[in-house]
Chain A
Amino acid sequence: MGRKPTDVWQGTLSLMVLKTLDTMGATHGYGIGRRIEQTSGERLTLNYGTLYPTLLKLEQEGYVKGEWGVSETNRKARFYSLTKAGKTRLEKAAREWDDTIAIVARFFTPEQSS
């Protein structure tokens, strides 16, 4: 399909954001970024800058909703939450990932004797 490498990560980043919001509820941008790093076991060093365009896209598509609120340190921040459409999308994506992983795994497991 000719997608650039960044597109692939962009796609997975969207999913990670959605999953994070599903788990944690309404969070601000910084919080989402920290959580993703933590979930990956600090294996991903996130370029926080890429988060915001992703969040904007998700917002435009209607999967997340953004609202201004106050953080735990009493700082004004924009909080994102998952919408119903986002939840549905997440579930669908999860299923797709499982299928993908299963198919790819078959290529890399030792040959079964036929």
Chain B
Amino acid sequence: MRPLRAWAIRVAGLLRGRRREEQFDAELASHVEMHVEENIRRGLTPEEARRQALIALGGAHLRDEYRDRGGVPLLESLAQDVRFAIRMLRKSPGFTATAIIVLSLGIGANGAVFSLINAALFKPLNGGMAGAELVGLYSGERTRPDRWRPFSYPEFVDLRDRTDVFAGLFAESHARLGVTEQGLTRRANATYVSSNYFQVLGASPAAGRFFTSDEERPGSGAAVVVVSDAYRRGVGAPADLVGRTVVINARPMTIVGVAPRQFRGTMAMGANEFWLPLGASSLFGTDEGMGLARITGDRASFNLMLSGTLEPGVSAEEAGARLAPLAAAFAAAYPQTNADQRLVVQRRSRINFGLPPPTDAEPTILGMVILAVAGLVLVVACLNLATLQLARGSVRRQEIAVRLALGGSRARIVRQLLVEGLLLSIGAGVIGLSIAWWTSDRIVSSRSLPIDVAPDGRVLALIAAACVVSALVFALGPALKLSKADLVTGMKQRGALPPARRRWASLQGVLVGGQVALSLALIAAAGVFARAGFIAASSDPGFRLEGGVLAEVDTTIAGLDEAGTRTAYARVLDRLRSLPDVGAASAASIVPFGNVRDARLVRAGDTSIVATFTVVGSDYFETLGLPLLAGREFTPVEEAQETEPVVVIDRTLAERLFSGRSALGEFVQLMGFDETPEGGPLRVVGVVPPVRNDMLSPGSAHVYVPYGRHFRAGMTFHVRTTPGREAAVMTRVQEAIESVDARLPLLALRPMTALRDGAPDLFALLLAATMFTAFGLIGAALSSAGIYGLRAYLVSQRTQELGVRFALGATRGGVVGQLLKEGAVTAACGIAAGLVLAVGLVQVLRQSGMLYDVDLVDPVAFAVAPLVLALTTTAASYLPARRALRIDPASALRPE
């Protein structure tokens, strides 16, 4: 304990140093006086008395020893180093600014990448509530390994109750429901859950309660809901919400509980607003298009996903093995539903949900690769800084030589230079942290991705590590080099560079050239994406955009069943078609450039083709502005009622299925992707031109079926008017829909041109262009810094050679020109390599399917990129060359 007390006092003593020293001076003075007095009493003369007293006191190191013991000498000398470092850094603002910018960009980029990866894959969900690992239970088949299905409620009950493998097992089913607030309806993410869901995940209600087992029972019709804490949007206290009513799919539901603040469910991307008990699903309608199904007690009704936590000590594989006898028992007891069942336990993915059971292995690897690349960029940037440091350090050689000569230890000098480096990297790290947070936040919020990227301990640890590593890379090497005692003699060497330095210079040259190449490739790719966006935005989709108006409606939200929906939609269409200014009106289940895609396999004979599947009303093609190539549209009768099975295909399908001959009158079969047929053969009654449903791909085939035979609750009404009249027509459309049924929620109302402009594909192109531009510019900045550092280093090493040249009469311009030429070689190699790399990069990116319309070597992008880099590299070479002009031949030649 005693040493601890002593240390504590010493640390506190750091602060009161001066006062302590004054006191000690007083104490020493009085000591000396007392000794002098006694000496005088003994008979010495006053001068002798004083001399003896001072001798007895000891040497100059007394004060040092006292001071050292009074504080913590290590910390004090570190503080000294820091102060000195700050002074030195202020003396070379250019280097300091460059270093801080380069390091903060590099560290910030690493931090941003890792923040995203951390949020998606590592950060504990729900504020750490789910301590144990979450596993999913999946039902597969022993003989067919790629067939999976969800569970039914009776199966869930059996599994939950009869096994000792799980510490807890819950059931969930995701849905999108409509919430009506203040007259406006919007879609929200919701989850049906079993009553033990929250308990297994370790959450307690922030207010109210969670669900009971009664409410969980299918068919209970329990109109209760638990809301997420985000639902209250920071207003009031959670307890205020309990007991309130919220209207979901036109049904009033009572809020019985509020989830705790950070609780978002089982996914890293969690925007779940509502949890409902399993029994609540019987309150709402079903819609095959929206994936809404009723959860019942029927053993054959499969719509539940099961997850849970394992008993401690049981691994996922072990759990699967232990469940095998149970699966066999099920297969024997329930041959219709559970034949050949195989129960598989696997760790839950945090990003994907559904079947077949997803893992996070691929995203993790991808994330690590990207992080490694970012780390590599940082390391290379630090190597550039090291070169810069060496160039700068040569100026300080004198100061260092003097310190060494006066007896300073090499370790102390190295330590001081390291402190300088750490100061830079820690400062940059703080800035980098802000960059990382801001960047990752912008990326997710621009897409409204509900994922929490706030930095946590892991991110901070990574940034700290990045600071330390970068300081070591860019400061330690040069520090060791510069503090060598034989530096002074090394300086005297005239003529060519010693081989060690030449090696370093050429290594740096290659690295810098590589950076130039990479930056060029990135900027070129950015240009290509920008071009693609430009082209896509002005491309022809195959139908007329101008004059089209869309109105999106979903009756499941309004609580209407199929009959009610059909009546309502029929009346809406009547009213729309009778509006003035309206040339034609129809409805469709999906829209081009939309978020929803629906597809089927279309087969005729032996050929099966994937085609986009749309349910449409009569006059759809006229409304869209697509001329009929053959045959006819669907009739109003086919729109309203179930008639003979008919279908309209586009020219792409017609050519590929019935090459040559007319498609009219032929039959096709629609199938799901697992090749199970849907319905019977359909007769082709019309052929239309192909359309593009997004801007990036050349367009898939399309198949259209009439609304009378294929029901959808969510449809979009299309209205055609003359271009320019869209705004007026939109108002009338809204009135028409409201007048038919005030409950019908209007989810979107806009002109067709707006649909294209807001398409996610355009956004993706722009995002890609922005990201590549950002990386490219960062790369250009880093490579410029690298070139600058390299040239500065070389110039500093060759001071004497240049001095000789000047003395012998070389012109300033001539020398500068030669230096520029040398620098240009590195840059030119980099640019050439960059062009090759750019072509390769664009080729790879084309595989993503986003760059369909752009040439491989887009002239604009491939001209701008080299130009940008030529400018930056020239500027970077020029500055050190100009420094060379200031070399005074006389002082350069003088032996140091």
Q: For chain B, what secondary structure do more than half of its interface residues adopt (helix, strand, loop), or is it mixed?
A: helix
Assess A61 versus B5: contact at CB under 8 Å? Given A49-B58, A53-B65.
Answer: yes
B455 shortest CB reach to chain A, Å? 40
B863 shortest CB reach to chain A, Å? 71
A28 on interface, CB distance cutoff 8 Å: yes
Binding-face segment, A15-23, A70-78, A98-106 = A70-78
Assess A60 versus B10: contact at CB under 8 Å? Given A48-B58, A77-B30.
Answer: yes
Assess A60 versus B5: contact at CB under 8 Å? Given A53-B66, A75-B30.
Answer: yes
A4 shortest CB reach to chain B, Å? 13
Question: Which of chain A's residues has its CB closest to B31's CB?
Answer: A30
Binding-face segment, B20-28, B43-51, B157-165 = B20-28
Inter-chain CA distance A60–B7, complex, in Å, is 8
B403 on interface, CB distance cutoff 8 Å: no
A50 on interface, CB distance cutoff 8 Å: yes
Binding-face segment, B32-40, B109-117, B191-199, B691-699 = B32-40
In the complex, are the beta carbons of B57 and A75 less than 8 A apart? no
Assess A77 versus B6: contact at CB under 8 Å? Given A49-B57, A49-B58, A53-B69.
Answer: no
Inter-chain CA distance A71–B2, complex, in Å, is 30
Task: Identify which of A50, A73, A77 contacts B27 (C-beta below 8 A).
Answer: A77
Q: For chain A, what secondary structure do more than half of its interface residues adopt (helix, strand, loop), or is it mixed?
A: helix
Taking CB atoms and an 8 Å cut-off, the chain A residues in 44-68 that contact chain B are 46-50, 52-53, 56-57, 60-63
B62 on interface, CB distance cutoff 8 Å: yes
In the complex, are the beta carbons of B66 and A52 less than 8 A apart? yes
In the complex, are the beta carbons of A57 and B69 less than 8 A apart? yes
Task: Identify which of A46, A53, A60, A75 contacts B34 (C-beta below 8 A).
Answer: A75
In the complex, are the beta carbons of B56 and A77 less than 8 A apart? no
Q: Which residues of the partner chain B approach A57 to less than 8 Å between Cβ atoms?
A: 6, 69
Taking CB atoms and an 8 Å cut-off, the chain B residues in 1-27 that contact chain A are 2-3, 5-6, 9-10, 23-24, 26-27
In the complex, are the beta carbons of B57 and A28 less than 8 A apart? no
In the complex, are the beta carbons of B69 and A56 less than 8 A apart? yes
Q: Which residues of the partner chain B approach A77 to less than 8 Å between Cβ atoms?
A: 27, 30-31, 34
Inter-chain CA distance A28–B27, complex, in Å, is 9
B140 on interface, CB distance cutoff 8 Å: no
Task: Identify which of B5, B37, B58, B62 contacts A73 (C-beta below 8 A).
Answer: B37
Interface readout for A72-87 with B: 1 if CB under 8 Å, 0 if not? 0101111000000100
Task: Identify which of B6, B24, B38 contacts A60 (C-beta below 8 A).
Answer: B6
B400 shortest CB reach to chain A, Å? 31
Inter-chain CA distance A75–B5, complex, in Å, is 31
Which among A53, A56, A73, A76 has the greatest number of chain B C-beta atoms within 10 A?
A: A56
Question: Which of chain A's residues has its CB closest to B60's CB?
Answer: A49
In the complex, are the beta carbons of A29 and B70 less than 8 A apart? no
Q: Which residues of the partner chain A approach B61 to less than 8 Å between Cβ atoms?
A: 49
In the complex, are the beta carbons of A75 and B6 less than 8 A apart? no
In the complex, are the beta carbons of B5 and A50 less than 8 A apart? no
Q: Which residues of the partner chain A approach B34 to less than 8 Å between Cβ atoms?
A: 28, 30-31, 71, 73, 75, 77
Inter-chain CA distance A73–B37, complex, in Å, is 9
B312 on interface, CB distance cutoff 8 Å: no
Inter-chain CA distance A79–B3, complex, in Å, is 23
Having A49-B57, A56-B70, A61-B3, one finds 14 other A-B pairs with CB under 8 Å, namely A28-B31, A30-B30, A30-B34, A31-B34, A48-B35, A49-B59, A50-B62, A52-B24, A52-B28, A61-B5, A71-B34, A73-B37, A75-B30, A75-B34
Binding site for B on A (CB under 8 A): 28-31, 34, 46-50, 52-53, 56-57, 60-63, 71, 73, 75-78, 85
Q: List 16 A-B contacts (CB under 8 A).
A: A28-B31, A29-B31, A30-B30, A30-B35, A48-B56, A50-B62, A50-B65, A52-B27, A53-B65, A57-B69, A60-B9, A63-B2, A71-B30, A75-B33, A78-B27, A78-B30
